[in-house]
Amino acid sequence: MSTSFGILKSGGEIILENDCLPNGYSDEDFEIVAFRGNSGNIWWKSNLAKFLPSSMKVYPLDNSAQGVYTIGDIIKEVEI
């Protein structure tokens, strides 16, 4: 299941509903930082994202989080 992951452009934090982004947000509210393809592999969509704090929250934009909630989670997935 493919998923784009983004960080909020305005900062702050969103509480996920059932591991998914709640209604009321659009892609324009986020900067896409990574993508997980149907193969399960994840890769960076932003060259600078890997330098963000590992505790920074990321949000699934078009599917469920699939265990990815922070920049650190993405770093771990990319390294596998």
Both tokens of 11, joined, read: 């900062």
Domain enclosing residue 24, as ranges: 3-79
Q: What is the mean pLDDT of residues 54-71?
A: 94
**What is the reported pTM?**
0.89
Would you place residue 80 in the very low, low, confident or very high pLDDT band (cuts 50, 70, 90)? low
Domain count, the chain: 1
Both tokens of 10, joined, read: 């305005």
Cα(80)–Cα(78) distance, integer angstroms: 6
Q: How many CB atoms lie within 10 A of CB 44?
A: 16
Supply the Cα-derived Rg of the chain in whole angstroms: 11
pLDDT of residue 40: 85
Q: What is the pLDDT of residues 8-48, one digit of tens each?
A: 998 778 989 988 888 888 888 999 999 999 888 999 999 99
